[in-house]
Structure formats: C-alpha cells, structure tokens
Structure 1
Amino acid sequence: MPETSKPSIKPPTLGQVMKGIRGRHGWTLKEMSAASGIPVSTLSKVEHDRLTLSYDKLQQVSQRLNIRMADLFYEEPEDARPQVTGRRSIGTLETAARVTTENYDYHYLCTDLKQKRMIPILTRIRARSAKEFGELIRHQGEEFIYVLEGRVEIHTEFYDPVQLDEGQGLYIDSSMGHAYVVGEGCDEAVVLGICSSAEDGLMDSLLSLRH
C-alpha cells in the first residue's frame, strides 16, 4: 500500500509559547505579569493571538524570566528533530515570528526548525537615511538580501552606498558594519534576507541587535 504522508504540524504562535511558559511555572496571568513586567491585559491579548510584542517587550520578558529571546520563538523539541538531512519547513507570514524595531519590521520564517544554519527573514524597511538609521550593525556570518518591493540603499563600512531596485540582490559579510534604508522615491521597501553562519547561536545573535 502507498505510504500516507503525515499531516504538517503548524508551529505554535507567540501566544501559545507564552501560555506554555506560564503553564510550566504554574502562574496565573497576574503572577506572570508580575514576573515579566507585562500588563495582565497585554498578556491576555498575546495569549489569544490578538497582539504581538515589540522588540523591547520581548527583551524585557527574556531578561526578567531569565530565558533566551530565541526561546520565545518556537523550535521543535530535541526528540522530534530528524536524524537525516531531510528537514522541511513552509514559511508563511501567518506562522512567522514578528519583531518590530525603530527601523524594521522583521518576520522570521520557518521558526519550527531548530539549529538552522540559515535564517530566512522577510523585512519591511522604514528608515529613510543613514542618519535616521543610526549606528551600523554587525553580527556573525554572512547574508544575502533580495529586493521584493521598492528601492533600497545599502550602506556598508568599507564601500560607498549602493542602490538596489526590485529584482536585485546583494551578498555581504555580516561582520562588516551595514545598514539598509529606503531608497530615493520610496516610502518603504520589502526585502527577503537570508542570514547564515557556521557557528551556533545565529538566531540569538540576530535577536540581540538593537536595530
């Protein structure tokens, strides 16, 4: 008889992850609020997937509960990790983990896979100049971005700024200072980025970036 494929399992949302953390501690919403510093009404909305948390709030929860920020994004459990190189994950905006900063809206895709060597990120860019962006950012590994919408101006530590239009991409060493801002004539831009590293901890490194 032909094999029947197993139904895909939808990864938990941030709300489900937060509810799981609260359940493991045996906390009420009020107790979770006291421990995390997040108002009860906000926690309730997050747990019911009616609200997400900003970068600052995620960082606050991480610090006050003494957990990694990456733990707030679902990763499949150790015993569920396949032992062969046949992993697969479908990335959608509905299942993406969203983090908002001053300059970007990040959507981390395929968060159900653990210990990835590549991190796919759909990013909406709002900063319109290098001055508005602030200090260049640096992190481990390398990255490639591809412009999906609008125009992007890329500032790097060792090169003159370059403009990329829709359908163009750029590959850089991520340890070199860099910043992506909206190009001339556009209000916003959307890019698909792939960050990679041979070292562990790439997700934590990305989430720790202020920008």
Structure 2
Amino acid sequence: MTTEAKLSSPRQDQRIRMGERLREIRTQLGLTLADVAARSGLAVSTVSKVERGLMALTYDRFNQLADGLEIDIAALFSEHGDPFQSGGIAVARKGEFLLHETENYTYEMLFPELWNKTMTPMFGTLRPYEQMHFERFVDHPGEEFLYVLEGSVMVYLDGKAPVQLQAGESLYFDSRRGHLYASAGPENARILVVCSDAGLRAKQRALTP
C-alpha cells in the first residue's frame, strides 16, 4: 500500500529523509531505479516517488525493498546502525523512536539503529476505519504480535472474520495472511506491534558508512 498526499512540513521532511536514504543506498550499490524495481517487485514510479519524498511505504513494501536490495530493513531507516550481537542489550527511553507516517498509520519505530534484529517493534496510532483508505490487504513474511494499548481495534484478516480487540487484549498471527488494522471506535486507538522476520536474511550486503 502506498500513498501520495499533501503533507505538513514535518511529515514531508521525514519522507524526504527516507527518500534520500534510499537513493544513497541505491547509488552505493550501483543500481538504477529500474534495477531496484525489478529486484523488489515495486513499480519504477513507486521507487522514484519514494526517493523524492512523495510517497510513504507500509511495512510490507519496506520488506520488499530490503529483500530486493539484500539489506537489513533497519538500514532504510537509519544510516548508522549497529548490528545486534548475541548477548546484547538495548534500551529505548521514552520518546526515543523514529516516526514514520503513511496515509493510514502512524508508526513509532523502536530501535531503528539496531540492525540484524529478528523482531521489529513499533507503536502505532490507528484512525477509525471510515477515515482510512485501504487499497489491499498488507502481508509479509514472518509472524506478528498486536497488543491494544488504548481504545478498541478491529483487525481485518483475509479469508477470516474480523477480530475486535479491546485495551489489554492481543493477537498473534502469521503475517503472510493479509491483514489490516483500524480503530473500532470514533477515536484513535494505540497499539504495540512486533513483526518478526522469517529468519535473518542469509544474504545481506555490507553498506559502508
């Protein structure tokens, strides 16, 4: 799911930084826009709009980009990352996150500076379904954990009946099944989401600083 929309200045700045990071990686790897599109399965126009800060990608599209470029997904969010080592410990203090906004969701990405993670934790803010614009279900390799922090959430699963969750309730599922989240009430809802990769990528390019 992608979107091109009118943005406020902070959101525009965030998308511009993300686009600059993608262009930097593509150039460093000696790839053209067409190369990235062919490797990731995204349209050339989509890759171009992301690089120009005109389009935000959802998590599954970022996964496609990372797989196509053979890099850690965290490298798309943070230029200077540190590999998470066996026995390692990382602490995120309150307010320490990377903000990523799409048309439908606002994500607060936790530990974006850690590469080679097997999990991607994030907080999310969901608007009511009537205020969201879905074109398709989201799906990606791995497993997903959802915990409702505030409000009520409706989870739409491809081929299954919707699941409604209240604050304090959670859901664990195979994220290869298409899924969508939305607030089930008139107010925004807050969630914690943890996505796991389907195993660490066996082929990950080493990006120089």
Which range, TM-score by smaller chain?
A: 0.5 to 0.7
5+ residue gaps in structure 1? 1-41, 43-50, 202-211
Equivalent position amino acid for 2:87 in 1: G
* Pick aligned residue for 2:78 from 73, 77, 80: 73
Work out which of the residue numbers 61, 77, 96 in structure 1 matches 2:20: 61
Single out whichever of 85-94 and 132-141 deviates more from structure 2. Answer: 85-94
Contact 1:147 1:169 (8 Å CA) reproduced: yes
Q: Which amino acid in the other structure matches residue 124 of structure 1?
A: T
Structure having the higher strand fraction is 2
Normalised by the size of structure 1, how large is the TM-score? 0.60
Q: Aligned AA for 1:128?
A: Y
Larger Rg: 1
Matched, 1:104 2:105: yes
1:18-167 paired onto structure 2 within 5 Å: 51=10, 56-67=15-26, 70-71=74-75, 72-73=77-78, 76-77=81-82, 82=85, 85-129=86-130, 132-167=133-168
User: What's the secondary structure of 1:148's corresponding residue?
Assistant: strand
Q: Measured at CA, do residues 90 and 61 of structure 1 come closer, stay the same or move farther in structure 2, by a change above 3 Å?
A: same
Q: Percent of counterpart pairs with the same letter? A: 30
| Contact 2:82-2:113 at 8 Å conserved across structures | no
State whether residues 107 and 122 of structure 2, in contact with CA within 8 Å, keep that contact through their aligned partners in structure 1: yes
Maintained 8 Å contact 1:54/1:99: no
Cα distance per residue 1:7-56 (max 9 Å; x no partner)? xxxxxxxxxxxxxxxxxxxxxxxxxxxxxxxxxxx8xxxxxxxx565664
Aligned length: 148
* One-letter amino acid of the counterpart of residue 74, structure 2: A
Partner of 1:200: 200
RMSD between aligned residues: 2.8
Unaligned runs of 5+ in 2: 1-8, 27-65, 67-72, 202-209
What amino acid sits opposite 1:198 in the alignment? A
Q: Tell me, what secondary structure is at the counterpart of 1:132?
A: coil
Cα deviation for residue 76 of structure 1 reads: 3.7
Normalised to the residue count of structure 2, the TM-score between the two structures is 0.61
Q: Is the 8 A contact 1:96 1:110 kept in 2?
A: yes
Match of 1:29 in 2: none
